[in-house]
Amino acid sequence: MQVTKEVVQEKWAKRPLIISGPCSAETEDQVMETATQLSKSGKVDILRAGIWKPRTRPGNFEGIGTKGLPWLQKAKALTGMPTTVEVATGKQVEDALHFDVDVLWIGARTTVNPFSVQEVADALRGVNVPVMIKNPINPDLELWIGAVERVAKAGIKQIGLIHRGFSSYGNTEYRNAPMWHLAIEMKRRHPDMLFINDPSHICGRRDILQEIAQKAIDLDYDGLMIESHIDPDNAWSDAKQQVTPQQLEKMLGDIVWRKEEIASAELHAALEKLRQQINHLDDEIMQLLGQRMNVAERIATYKKENNITILQTARWNEILDRAFKKSGQFSLSKEFITKYYDAVHMESINHQTRIFNS
Ligand code: PEP
Ligand code: MN
């Protein structure tokens, strides 16, 4: 099947735009089989595969290299799906283009480095190819914008953005914290650019992909890039986050594709900012509660040493009285304060009991 420039344009303009394929091209069979199955689903527009893999530590699979590019050519010829790969150097741009890769993308580890982005941009001068730019690893919008500017200055007309989450200290739920507010701000600044979400690299695990994909669609993203593999558990990279083409098909089928919502991007951005504030405040409250329990435990140690009971009603009444007096000032109802202090008190007693029994 011939994939002309017109076919690529058509795909680029399609909404939602779905990009899928393995994290890494591993073998010819794996690429061909994945592509065939994805194509059968009828739900995938562009085939992705990593050819050169930026790995955090050496010794991990660093990509099959140029040898894998003819496999993508074959997969394209067989399925009619345009292809996309990650490029990080000028040489990689040349090789990818030499083997007719239709769309290029700049990875998160490259976007962080202006030298590398410039090298890629220089290699793109005079070339007519769509380029997608992933957000940098660290939550720095300026770096992302800088990369867009470098690629645009090289004369690339079709630039897309891929939100793949940001590295953050102490984050456990996600491999890369989505920090939706940053992505939304990026989208606000580039309203006409293709804006794709990459749930795979945000989640780092299969079980929450659906939720993130749905959220992206609810936030009016233009499409998704999701990694898929014929045998995810045995993938040579990112095994935990890949899904089979069948699982991908089901996932995409289960997404509620909301029509463009009345709510504007501004409204989303405003809501997201406020929600982030709520998250921060909740985190602080949680930390303070932990500290409060630590103090209660220290009190318990004194009580134990001096043979005093855990519950001292007079002291508890004093705490409640203070709380009631203050609650009005913060527009908190008496009912809420009572429930809240009851819960805190119970937890505190449990902590103290543990000290008494230790
Ligand atoms: C990838 O898409 O396989 C990849 C390496 O992604 P990122 O640059 O987002 O880490
Ligand atoms: Mn990957």
pLDDT digits (tens, 9 = 90+) for 265-281: 888 888 888 988 999 89
Q: How close is the Cα of 54 to the center of ligand 2, in Å?
A: 9
Q: How close is the Cα of 24 to the center of ligand 1, in Å?
A: 10
Residue closest by Cα to atom 2 of ligand 1: 23
Q: What is the mean pLDDT of the chain?
A: 94
Contact residues of ligand 1, CB 6 A cut-off: 23, 50, 86, 107-109, 134, 164, 201
Provide the percentage of residues in the chain whose pLDDT is more than 90. 80
Q: Closest ligand 1 atom, CA of 201?
A: 9
Nearest ligand to residue 106 Cα: 1
Q: How close is the Cα of 155 to the center of ligand 1, in Å?
A: 24
pLDDT at 266: 81
Residue closest by Cα to atom 1 of ligand 1: 23
Residue from 146, 177, 142 nearest 163 by CA:
177
Q: Phi and psi at residue 193, in whole multiples of 5°?
A: -85, 145
Residue from 214, 197, 200, 212 nearest 255 by CA:
214
Q: Closest ligand 1 atom, CA of 108?
A: 8
Residue closest by Cα to atom 6 of ligand 1: 107
| Helices and strands in the chain, H and E counts | 14, 8
pLDDT digits (tens, 9 = 90+) for 64-117: 999 999 999 999 999 999 999 999 999 999 999 999 999 999 999 999 999 999
Q: How close is the Cα of 237 to the center of ligand 2, in Å?
A: 7
| 162-175: burial string, b at 16+ Cβ within 10 Å, e else | bbbbbeeeeeeebb
Q: Closest ligand 1 atom, CA of 110?
A: 8
Best of 164, 202, 240 to mutate for ligand 1, by most ligand atoms within 8 A of CB?
164
Per DSSP bridges, beta strands 46-48 and 103-106 are unpaired
Residue closest by Cα to atom 3 of ligand 1: 23
Peptide bond into 232 cis (omega under 30): no
Averaged over 21-46, what is the pLDDT?
Answer: 98
Six-digit token pair at 193?
A: 């650019």
Q: Closest ligand 1 atom, CA of 24?
A: 3
The whole-model pTM stands at: 0.76
pLDDT digits (tens, 9 = 90+) for 104-160: 999 999 999 999 999 999 999 999 999 999 999 999 999 999 999 999 999 999 999
The DSSP bridge partners found for residue 134 are 162
Six-digit token pair at 329?
A: 């000032």
* Geometric angle at alpha carbon 109, from 215 and 121, rounded to 5°: 105
